[in-house]
Amino acid sequence: MRIRVDPDKCTGHARCYGLAPELFDVDDYGLSSVVGGGAVPVELEDKARLAIANCPEYAIEELPD
Amino acid sequence: MANTTPVEHWDTDFDIMNPAYVADPFSIWDELRKTCPVAHTDRRGSTWLPTRYQDVVDLAHDVEHFSSAEITVIPFEGEVPEDPVLPYGVPPISADPPLHTWTRRLLLPWFSHRRVASYEATTRELCIKLVDGFIYSGTADAAGDYAQQIPVRVIAGILGVPAELSDTFTGWVRDVLEFADDPELRLRGMEGLITFFIEEVGRRKTQPGEDLLSYLLHSEVDGLPVEESVVLGVAALVLIAGVDTTWSAIGSSLWHLATHPEDRDRLIAEPDAMPLAIEELLRAYSPVTMARLVTEDVVFEGCPMRAGDKVLMNFPGANRDPEAFEDADRVILDRALNRHVAFGSGIHRCAGSNLARMELKVALEEWLRRIPTFRLAEGDEVTWAGGQVRGPRHVPVVFP
């Protein structure tokens, strides 16, 4: 599974970081980004889906394989 | 108490200051969503009230038609001075791009995740001290003695102004927000606040500290110092927005836990449930409803909105929309699908959201750790404040 954060949609709610700090980082302005190039370890896939489902700006997407 | 006359038709004549709305806006929104999802009123000027999640989000994202130039719904009654102290209002919340963009950029690092983490220890100490103050009496006002006391002191620390003045700050903020219906009180609050900040800013010109106020004053944007009136506006915003809102969220959450022992017991038994629970409490009891100003005639969802109308950004109502949330009127502490917009949506996402979350979490943790069993006191009434920030002002509880 691979994910990305759309920087044009992210407004810094930081829900993804709160739910899955292993997968996301946030900068000083609240903008989220994926860590490790967006590759999601198998054991964190549920967390990644939780983050996707909770972003109020629909800014996180799963990339096709 | 707000000046208000009875409402017969909520779809064409709603009133957010009406006691029925303040006490229970939820059933009014539920009804409107079914019959007239974007309601209207001519009270206090032509104003629209959307109640559906998608509508509120769409409105928040259309910053061209819906400006933040006026965010309060009650018009200011009085003469606008020729040379106002705050010609730019209280940016970034009351600004559109580009002023919004650069003032927000100045502010955000002070409320980043990392920075907020550094405020947590003092927030916890503060909560512990507050609980110390009433725990042996077996009774407390969870709103007045606890919730109300927390955010104002944390914000004072960030701004670098004396926490001992917290009650004064709270008074000004209530004048501005809660009693906005009374032009005299509103003016009194704003004048008190601005006079205070002018003095504080003056001192920092020659003696800057490590605080937010000093930082704003000595910042440069595009090689130019930030105008003092902008510094004053941002400082006023930080105090106003940082006090009433989070205090309301903490108070509502404690009220919920006092009246829902099963949720309270669950949070004590499963501390890991706290992060999702915080989001759910924020969803169910979102305090803040800012307004937008319609910039040009536009038809929205069939409603003919005119330039100069206002639109209430009903984020609390959006968060109760059954189209967006299953069992929207139920608090489900571990709700897994929760795209709530308690902190707004789009470019005006609450700049202090990380701080608010931390304060709410620490406040609940410290209360529950020391006072695991509590309930509403019998015969003593819970009171709510409404308008554009909703939360309880009096939550008498007992913990014998």
State pLDDT tens for residues B322-340: 999 999 999 999 999 999 9
Q: Do A50 and B112 touch (CB under 8 A)?
A: no
pLDDT recorded at residue B84: 77
Half-sphere exposure for B247 (CA within 13 Å, toward CB): 32
Closest C-alpha among B249, B251, B287 to residue B389: B287
Q: Is the pLDDT of residue B400 over 60?
A: yes
Which residues 85-144 on chain B approach chain A with CB closer than 8 angstroms?
105, 108-109, 112-115
Average pLDDT over residues B47-69: 97
DSSP state letter for B320: T
Q: Tell me how far apart the alpha carbons of residues B206 and B202 are, in angstroms, rounded to a whole number.
A: 8
**Residue A37 phi, psi dihedral angles, 5° rounding:** 70, 10
Residues of A in contact with B112 (CB under 8 A): 26-30
Average pLDDT over residues B201-229: 94
Classify domain A2-63 at the CATH topology level. Answer: Alpha-Beta Plaits (3.30.70)
Average pLDDT over residues B51-73: 95
pLDDT recorded at residue B80: 62
Say if residues A62 and A1 touch (Cβ distance below 8 Å): yes
Of A8-22, B127-141, B161-175, which range is least confident?
B161-175
pLDDT recorded at residue B52: 98
Among all residues of chain B, which has the CA nearest to that of A9? B346
pLDDT recorded at residue B76: 62
Average pLDDT over residues B225-231: 93
Of A51-65, B76-90, B291-305, which range is least confident?
B76-90
**Predicted-complex ipTM score:** 0.96
pTM: 0.95
User: Average pLDDT, whole number, for chain B?
Assistant: 94
Among B181-190, B229-238, B326-335, the range of highest mean pLDDT: B326-335
Q: Is the pLDDT of residue B79 over 90?
A: no
Among all residues of chain B, which has the CA nearest to that of A25? B113
| Biggest distance spanned by C-alpha atoms of chain A | 31
> Cβ of B346 under 8 Å from any chain A Cβ?
yes
> Cβ of B353 under 8 Å from any chain A Cβ?
yes
pLDDT recorded at residue B373: 96
Residues of B in contact with A19 (CB under 8 A): 275
Q: How confident is the model at residue B82 (pLDDT cuts 50, 70, 90)?
A: low
Of A53-62, B81-90, B112-121, B360-369, which range is least confident?
B81-90
Stretches where chain A sits below pLDDT 70 are none
pLDDT recorded at residue B294: 97
Q: Do B340 and A18 touch (CB under 8 A)?
A: no
Residues of A in contact with B335 (CB under 8 A): none
Residues of A in contact with B105 (CB under 8 A): 29
Q: Is the pLDDT of residue B131 over 80?
A: yes
Q: Tell me how far apart the alpha carbons of residues B358 and B116 are, in angstroms, rounded to a whole number.
A: 7
pLDDT recorded at residue B176: 86
Q: How confident is the model at residue B357 (pLDDT cuts 50, 70, 90)?
A: very high
A8, A9, A11: best mutation site toward chain B, by most B Cβ within 10 Å?
A11
Strands (E), chain B: 38-41, 47-50, 66-67, 139-141, 220-221, 224-225, 291-294, 298-300, 303-305, 310-312, 375-376, 383-385, 391-394, 396-398
Q: Tell me how far apart the alpha carbons of residues B85 and B90 are, in angstroms, rounded to a whole number.
A: 11
pLDDT recorded at residue B1: 44
Q: Tell me how far apart the alpha carbons of residues B45 and B47 are, in angstroms, rounded to a whole number.
A: 6
pLDDT recorded at residue B374: 97
A6, A15, A16, A55: best mutation site toward chain B, by most B Cβ within 10 Å?
A15
Q: Do A53 and B337 touch (CB under 8 A)?
A: yes
Say if residues B274 and B365 touch (Cβ distance below 8 Å): yes
Q: Is the pLDDT of residue B180 over 80?
A: no
Map out the domains of chain A as residue ranges. Answer: 2-63
> Cβ of A51 under 8 Å from any chain B Cβ?
no
